[in-house]
């Protein structure tokens, strides 16, 4: 899988992550971290560090996945999101924007 495709997918995410649901953002985060850094290390954050725990849990959910598979999964998920967004009509998109 070419690294250029991964960079393009990352750029798409940076442009549109605010329109994504939390579950999708967590999956993308997990795949990205696994693809760039490999398996997570350290202890799960505790206490009131809820955001850090959520991120830790997401990343640890793909622990053991190769960097190449994580990279491909990231690209596949971004492409799936792109397909879904293209399938939404203009009226629906305007409704989504108005409700924010």
Average pLDDT of adjacent 10-residue blocks, the chain of 100 residues: 82 89 96 98 93 97 97 94 56 44
Q: What is the pTM of this model?
A: 0.78
Give the pLDDT score at 50: 94
Give the pLDDT score at 31: 98
For 43, the domain range is 3-98
Give the pLDDT score at 2: 57
Q: What is the CATH number of the domain that holds 27?
A: 1.20.80.10
**3-state secondary structure labels for all residues of the chain:** CCHHHHHHHHHHHHHHHHHCCHHHHHHHHHHHHHHHHCCCCCCCCCCCCHHHHHHHHHHHCCCCCCHHHHHHHHHHHHHHHHHHHHHCCHHHHHHHHHCC
Structurally, the chain folds into a number of domains equal to 1
Angle subtended at Cα 88 by Cα 55 and Cα 72, rounded to the nearest 5 degrees: 45
d(CA 68, CA 36): 9
Give the pLDDT score at 58: 98
State the burial class of residue 21 (Cβ atoms within 10 Å of its Cβ: 0-12, 13-18, 19+): exposed
Give the pLDDT score at 87: 42
Token pair, residue 69, equals 């598979």
């Amino acid at each position: 899988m070419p690294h250029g495709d991964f960079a393009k997918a990352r750029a798409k995410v940076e442009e549109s992550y605010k329109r994504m649901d939390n579950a999708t953002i967590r999956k993308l985060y997990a795949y990205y971290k696994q693809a760039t850094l490999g398996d997570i290390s350290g202890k799960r954050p505790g206490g009131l560090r809820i955001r850090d725990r959520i991120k830790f849990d997401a990343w640890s959910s793909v622990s053991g996945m190769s960097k190449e598979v994580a990279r491909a999964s990231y690209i596949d998920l971004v492409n799936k999101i792109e397909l879904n967004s293209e399938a939404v009509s203009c009226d629906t998109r305007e409704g989504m924007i108005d409700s924010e």
